[in-house]
Amino acid sequence: MSLQGKVAVVTGSTSGIGLAIAKAYAGAGAHIVINGFGDADAIEKERADIETQFGVEAVYSPADMSKGDQIAKMIADAESTFGSVDILVNNAGIQFVSPVEDFPVEKWDQIIAINMSSAFHAIRAALPGMKARKWGRIINTASAHALVASPFKSAYVTAKHGIAGLTKTVALETATFGITCIAICPGYVWTPLVEKQIPETMEARHLTREQVINDVLLHAQPTKQFVTVEEVADLALFLSSEGAKSITGTILPIDGGWTAE
């Protein structure tokens, strides 16, 4: 499959799922905009490695996904640099685990901004160019939590359900423009985001680390295995192909059977 000449913006792509998706697109020949927080030297190494390994151009945007104006500038800068934004992957996300009554208001606001509103701002900025070119792929990284809930994750579950609704709406508005909009819904993937929430879940549920992994995380997935970042990236790559041009408005789980129960 070739994405030669296409340009992909992948938010939250300095590690985990986002980085795997960015590399998959680069491997298919797309130029890449990566984005996210982290150690500056580590980010530059990943950016340079993408260029060296795949022979494409890769740039880094430090845009803060909680700031709509910075998101719009990221899209504008990508269009200025490469001439287009053909593929947009809204992948940025954070997590916080707490009972509703103790949930810090600032954490709620931050999660809604980064996990949900950032997708709106990026889509809003990218759509005019996609419509003009009559081609575009918008992939929103949702979660199994776009379809089901878990305790102590009120903001995250709310944001991911919101992403599902945004996906359907954008798909309907763009259906005649050669643009698709899909939400992919991974189950538990072994990423820094999941690893970070283990201590929080241990505290909230009064469990050991092993109990959180086996009785909370993998308990949800009938396969009893974590989804891999490569599996998610392969799905995103297919959804950006011509073979997937009729797949739009879809909320697509990749969750080891979690939401089948």
- Which pLDDT belongs to residue 6? 98
Q: 245 and 175 in contact (C-beta within 8 Å)? A: no
**How many angstroms separate the CA atoms of 133 and 128, rounded?**
9
Delimit the domains of the chain by residue range: 7-190+228-253
- The catalytic position among 25, 60, 156, 188 is 156
**How many angstroms separate the CA atoms of 145 and 221, rounded?**
13
**How many angstroms separate the CA atoms of 111 and 95, rounded?**
7
- Which pLDDT belongs to residue 130? 98
Q: Is 89 helix (H, G, I), strand (E, B) or coil?
A: strand
**How many angstroms separate the CA atoms of 221 and 98, rounded?**
22
Q: Does domain 7-190+228-253 have CATH number 3.40.50.10800?
A: no
**How many angstroms separate the CA atoms of 139 and 87, rounded?**
8
What's the one-letter identity of residue 201? T
**How many angstroms separate the CA atoms of 232 and 258, rounded?**
15
Cα 192–Cα 195–Cα 197 angle in degrees, nearest 5: 110
DSSP class of residue 235?
Answer: H
β-bridge partners, 254: 186
What does each of the 261 residues of the chain score in pLDDT, given as a tens digit?
A: 799 999 999 999 999 999 999 999 999 999 999 999 999 999 999 999 999 999 999 999 999 999 999 999 999 999 999 999 999 999 999 999 999 999 999 999 999 999 999 999 999 999 999 999 999 999 999 999 999 999 999 999 999 999 999 999 999 999 999 999 999 999 999 887 788 889 988 998 899 999 999 988 898 899 999 999 999 999 999 999 999 999 999 999 999 999 998
Catalytic status, residue 156: yes
- Which pLDDT belongs to residue 217? 86
Instruction: Give the total residue count for the chain.
Output: 261
